[in-house]
Amino acid sequence: MRLNEFTAQALRSMVVAGEISCREIIESVLHCIKERDGEIKAYVNVTGEEALKKADELDDKIRRGEEVGPLAGIPIAVKENICTEGIATTCCSKMLANFIPPYDASVIKRVKDAGAIIIGKTNMDEFAMGSSTETSCFFQTHNPLDTQRVPGGSSGGSAAAVAGHESILGLGSDTGGSIRQPSAFCGVVGLKPTYGRISRYGLIPFASSLDHVGTITKDLTDAALLLRIIAGYDEMDSTSVNMEVPDYVKGLKDDLQGLRIGVPKEYFVDGISSDVKEAVFKAIDSFEAMGARCEEVSLPHTEYAVATYYLIASAEASAALARYDGVRFGYCHEDAEDIVSMFSKTRGHGFGSEVKRRIMLGTYALSSENYDTHYLKAQKVRTLIRRDFDRVFENVDCLVSPVTPSVAFKLGEKLNDVLNMYLSDVCTIPLNLAAVPGISIPCALSNGLPVGLQIIGKHFQEEMLLRVAYAFEKNVDFREVNVGEGGRKV
């Protein structure tokens, strides 16, 4: 096994034991990128030289016997919408193609302090608006498990990088499923914690009240490890919560005895492929075999989540993306006779069509004649959706569901079917609306492609999520669970 194929936890102990150097880890990952990224295209920018320099610094420190952080020498792939000081952060939009942030996002500060090394910036849908990483202004990313297929999105670059061993750890963002869905498509672990658990300072917003920073890792232990580093109150983000951060790694227990797991029936409706259903039901059987009690529950307003989400997310996006006017940063269309035309031309040329579509939808939903019937209505339904979760969590410890209606689809397959693309987020969106945490882990293969399992928890109960997911990982090798035709063949 090459070093880039290990987990962070494993590499960490090898580094501590002096068996390997940080430089060796970075070199191994850079080698893989060189070999594979021409095809996968996970990265829009690889910061190899700087990464090697950092690795040497850490190696020197270790040689001198100095203290290094818990992620010393571990490469991390960072989504292109998380600000990195001095490194272009473009949101994969022509609008920000030249933007160099003069500051680090709070999560970047934390991973750097922990010794992690930024290996590069990863591809994404433009401004995180998409589910396939196909709306990036640069290029499409390919699923490392089947390069004819999408890696999912919008954090498709980070998920593909981790799944393809082009990085050890990944950072992504999740506004409606953008970490969990690509993680499911690429067969890795994607965690969207509770809103407020991780600082959003430095995450370029799509929709403030729905945006989350989260982790993409090869396994549960790495998810726990990385979450422990980046979670917690940040004085730069008023919506980050001042609560103690537990030691998530210690909390990983292979014990589900007596745990109550809910299975929300609304997440198994038409449109969810039979393979996915089968995979999730098999997972439920496994949980029961491990001693958990699974029962059907209902989140009755689930069918309204997608509509609610598109109104709220677009409304918030219309404001969050208004600042791109060409004056202070970003693309500027200089050939304009007056300020109004400079703004309109800059924005008209700088944004891609998916972004423009959502900005206009948002403007429409907020305009005085539509506010009550659209934006306000959606915020009321959001209350109903939140209440669904509050109610169901009175009786169960967590929920399990599919992540996506199907496995990874082919490149170009859904690009022009706007509404269908939106609808495919039906299982992930409700969590963003309700601010509850969710994790996607691979639970089966369908014709060789991974199927994701979503575990949903109560506010700030990431520990519970990780524990349930960890028990599954310990007891079930998803590569051996085949569903659909592949399943029948075995």
Partner 1 sequence: MTEYEIVIGLEVHAQVLTDSKVFCGCSTEFGASPNEHTCPICLGLPGTLPVLNKKTVEYTIKTGLAMNCDIAEFSKFDRKNYFYPDLPKAYQISQYDMPLCKNGYIEFWVNGEKKRVGINRIHLEEDAGKLVHAGSIAESQYSFADYNRSGIALMEIVSEPDIHSPEEARLYLNELKKILEYLEVSDCNMEEGSLRCDANISLRPVGTVTFGTKAEVKNLNSFRAVQRALEFEAERQADLLREGGKVIQETRHWDESKGITIPLRSKEEAHDYRYFPESDVPPLVIKDSWVDEIKRGLPELPAVKRARFVNEYGIPEQDVEVLTETKAMADFFEECVKDYNEPKTVSNWLIGEFLRLLNAEGIEIKESKVTSRHLAGMLKLIKDGTISGKIAKTVFEEIFKTGKTAEIVVKEKGLVQITDEDAINDVVDKVISENPGAVEDLKAGKNKAIGFLVGQVMKETRGRANPQLVNEILRKRLL
Partner 2 sequence: MVKRILSSKRQTMKNTIDINTVKRMAFLSRLEISDSEAKEFSLQLSETLNYVHKLNELDTEDIEPTIHVLPLKNVLREDKVRPSLTQERALMNASCKEDGYFKVPKIVE
Active site residues: 79, 154, 178
Give me the helix-helix angle, 220-230 and 462-475, nearest 10°. 160
Among 1, 17, 340, 490, binds partner 1 (CB under 8 A): 340
* CA-closest candidate to residue 133, choices 97, 87, 80, 205: 80
Whichever of 33 and 213 has its CB closer to partner 1, that residue is 213
Cα 317 to the center of its chain, rounded Å:
18
Q: Which residue, chain included where needed, has tokens 């969810």?
A: 272
CB atoms within 10 A of CB 10: 17
> CA dihedral defined by 241, 460, 402, 399, rounded to 10 degrees?
-150
Token pair for 16 = 């501590």
Angstrom CA distances, 367 to 315, 332, 370, stand at: 10, 27, 5
Q: Which does 301 bind (CB under 5 to 8 A by kind): partner 1, partner 2, none?
A: partner 2
Q: Which does 316 bind (CB under 5 to 8 A by kind): partner 1, partner 2, none?
A: partner 1
Instruction: Measure the CA–CA gap between 210 and 217, rounded to whole angstroms.
Output: 22
The span of 179-187, 199-207, 255-263, 482-490 binding partner 1 (CB under 8 A) equals 199-207
Among 11, 22, 30, 105, binds partner 1 (CB under 8 A): 105
Grouping H, G, I as helix, E, B as strand and the rest as coil, residue 421 is: helix
Instruction: Measure the CA–CA gap between 345 and 108, rounded to whole angstroms.
Output: 33
Whichever of 41 and 121 has its CB closer to partner 1, that residue is 121
- Residue 92 as a binder of partner 1 (CB under 8 A): the answer is no
Sequential DSSP letters for 268-290: G-TTS-HHHHHHHHHHHHHHHHT
- Residue 99 as a binder of partner 1 (CB under 8 A): the answer is yes
- Residue 200 as a binder of partner 1 (CB under 8 A): the answer is yes
Residue type at position 24? E
Whichever of 99 and 281 has its CB closer to partner 2, that residue is 99
Q: Which does 205 bind (CB under 5 to 8 A by kind): partner 2, partner 1, none?
A: partner 1
Whichever of 70 and 326 has its CB closer to partner 2, that residue is 326
Do residues 223 and 326 touch, judged by C-beta distance below 8 A?
A: no
Site string for partner 1, 421-440 (x = CB under 8 A): --------------------
* CA-closest candidate to residue 179, choices 440, 470, 442, 404: 440
Whichever of 269 and 360 has its CB closer to partner 2, that residue is 360
Instruction: Measure the CA–CA gap between 164 and 31, rounded to whole angstroms.
Output: 12
The span of 27-35, 95-103, 115-123, 157-165 binding partner 1 (CB under 8 A) equals 95-103
- Residue 328 as a binder of partner 1 (CB under 8 A): the answer is yes
Q: Which of residues 374-403 bind partner 1 (CB under 8 A)?
A: 375
- Residue 155 as a binder of partner 1 (CB under 8 A): the answer is no
- Residue 24 as a binder of partner 1 (CB under 8 A): the answer is no
CB of 371 to partner 1, least distance (A): 8
CB atoms within 10 A of CB 42: 31
Token pair for 48 = 């190899």
Among 13, 98, 148, 367, binds partner 1 (CB under 8 A): 367
- Residue 147 as a binder of partner 1 (CB under 8 A): the answer is no
Which residues in this chain contact partner 1 in the complex, by CB under 8 A?
81-83, 89, 91, 96, 99, 101-103, 105, 200-205, 208-209, 235-239, 315-316, 318-319, 322-325, 327-329, 339-340, 343, 363, 366-368, 371, 375
